[in-house]
Structure 1
C-alpha cells in the first residue's frame, strides 16, 4: 500500500469502536482456517484487508523472504497496529515543523527491521506448545522466554481465564480458576527501570493478546494479534521516537 494515510481516520475510528467491545468479543480479525496451503507470506497476501500495510513494512525491512522461505512462528500485527504508531510519528514530525510521511518507505529500513523482528521466532510453535501465564501470579505461572530472530528475549504464554457463574441459591458468584477460554499472549519486557516499591504491583511486560492463533501455513505458524489492544513495537512512542531521531527519508 503506497499511500498509507488515505484511510487512517477510518482505521482509528474503527480501533476506538473495537476497544469498547465486551471481553467475549475479543476476536477482531474474523474466522481463519487452521491449515493454509501456502507460505506465511501467501497467507498475508490472501488477507489484504488486514495485512496490506504490514506487507509493505516487511518488504522495506527485507523480512519478506523470511516469511516466504524459513520455518518461523509469526505474531502478525494487523495494519491498524502499525497505523497507530505511524500516526504518532507524524504528530512528532508536525510538531517539529516537518512534513508528515505518506509512504512507509520513508521510515528507514533498519527501524522497520528492528521492530518487526520482535514478532518473528525461529521454529513452529502453536498455542499448546507454550506454558501457562498468569499476570497476577507470575511466581507460579510465568510463561516462557523465547528469543526472536534478532536474538532479543520475549515472553510468550497462554492465559487461562476463569469461569465466573452466578450462584442462584446464594445470589453471589462462583469462580472456577483457569477453567475458561485460553488466550495466547506475546509479551515485551519493559525497557525502562521500575521503582523497587512498585515491582510487586506491576506486570513486567507490555502484553499483546492474540486474537486468532494456530493458523498453519506450510512453512510455520501464524498468530494474529488483537489490533484493538496493541500498538506496533509494543510502545508506539518508542517506534516513533527512533524513526524521528534517525530522520525520515524524502518522499
Structure 2
C-alpha cells in the first residue's frame, strides 16, 4: 500500500571542495535528538555538512516549508551538491556542460530555482516520521519484509524501511537503520533500486524530523544524468 508522506529538503551555497563533516555524521549514535529551532535553523547551525543545502533550500523557495511545516527530510549533505556540480575534470554537471560547449556553473544561484525545488522535494515527505514509524525491510527477504512505499513531495515513489541487524547469533536482535531506496521505474517497482542508508535518524527540530543520509556515491535526484539534462535544457541564468 502506498502511503502519502511529505518532506522538504533544503540546500545552500555551493563549495567546490568538500567540507569537514561533524563527527556524528560518521556515527549516528552521537547526534543530538532534539534541536531548539526550526528545520532550517538546524541546517544553518550545522554549516559543515549542510551549508550548501541550506542555500539551496532558500534558492528553491522552500524557506517557509522548512520553518513552519511538519515534514520529514532525508537530508543529503554538501558533498552531494559538490559531487553533482563537479568540475570539467572530475565529472558531474560542469563536465557535462563543458563537453557540450556550454558555460559551466560558477555559483549555484545560476541554476533555475524550479530545478532546485523539484530535486529537493525528492527527499521530503509529508508529516514528522521517525524510525519507529517505518516498517522493517530485509533486502534478502523482501517478500516477507518489504519496507513501504511512500510518495515524496515531488511526486516520486520511494521505498523506506528499517533494517534489523543480527546480534549474538540471533536474527534481527541488533541495531536498526533506516534505508531510503530510489525506484527508477515505478511500473517495474522491484527492479534496479538505489538504496542509501541513514547515518543519523530522528533528529527533531521544532517542526518535522531530519534523517541525515550517508551520502557516499549519492547525486542530487539519484540519477545524475536526468539532473544534468534538465539544467542543460533550461540553461544557466
Question: What is the TM-score with the length of structure 1 in the denominator?
Answer: 0.79
Q: Secondary structure at the match of 1:227?
A: coil
Aligned residue in 1 for 2:8:
none
Q: Give the match for residue 228 of structure 1.
A: 216
Structure 1 range deviating more: 229-238 or 66-75: 229-238
1:43 has 2:42 as partner: yes
Contact 2:13 2:54 in 1 (8 A): no
Determine the C-alpha separation between the residues in 1 that align with 2:140 and 2:191. Answer: 8
| Structure 1 residue 98, shift from structure 2 partner | 2.2
* Residues 147 and 154 in structure 1, CA contact (< 8 A), matched pair in contact too: yes
Q: Deviations over 1:117-164 (max 9, x none)?
A: 01111111110110001122111111111122233322111011233x
Count of aligned pairs: 219
CA–CA separation in structure 2 for the residues paired with 1:203 and 1:27: 30
Structure number with the higher helix fraction is 1
Q: Hey, what does 1:71 align to over in structure 2?
A: 70
Residues 124-133 or 26-35, more deviating: 26-35
Displacement after TM superposition at 1:42 (Å): 0.6
Counterpart secondary structure, 1:124: coil
SS in 2 for 1:113: helix
Shift of 1:4: 3.0
Contact 1:135 1:203 in 2 (8 A): no
> Match for residue 144 of structure 1?
148
Partner of 1:22: none
Partner of 1:4: 15
**Structure of greater Rg:** 1
Q: Which runs of 5+ in 1 are unaligned?
A: 16-24, 166-174
Summarize the Cα distance change of 1:156–1:3 in structure 2 as closer, same or farther, 3 Å threshold: closer
SS in 2 for 1:176: coil
Structure 2 Cα separation of the partners of residues 105 and 113 of structure 1 = 12
Q: In structure 2, how many angstroms separate the alpha carbons of the residues matched to 1:93 and 1:149?
A: 28
- Cα distance in structure 2, aligned partners of 1:181 and 1:26: 16
The 3 A distance-change label for structure 1 pair 51 and 180 is same
Q: Structure 1 runs of 4+ off > 6 angstroms?
A: none
Question: How far has the Cα of 1:176 moved from its partner?
Answer: 3.1
2:107 aligned with 1:103: yes
Contact persistence 1:40–1:220 (CA under 8 A): yes
Q: Secondary structure at the match of 2:205?
A: coil
Question: For the residues of structure 1 that align with 2:212 and 2:175, how far apart are their CA atoms?
Answer: 17
1:122 equivalent among 97, 122, 126: 126
Tell me the TM-score normalized by structure 2: 0.83
Contact 1:154 1:188 in 2 (8 A): yes
Mark the runs of 5 or more structure 2 residues left unpaired by the alignment: 1-11, 87-91
Match of 2:183 in 1: 189
Q: What is the correspondence of 1:78-93 to structure 2 with a 5 Å cutoff?
A: 78-87=77-86, 88-93=92-97
Residue aligning to 2:231:
243
For the pair 1:209 / 2:197, whether they are aligned, the reply is: yes
Q: Deviations over 1:5-60 (max 9, x none)?
A: 3x2xxx29x89xxxxxxxxx995277321011111111001001111111111111
Matched position secondary structure for 2:216? helix
For residue 118 of structure 1, give the secondary structure of its aligned residue in structure 2: helix
Answer yes or no: is the 8 Å Cα contact 1:208–1:234 preserved in 2.
no
Q: Is the 8 A contact 1:40 1:67 kept in 2?
A: yes
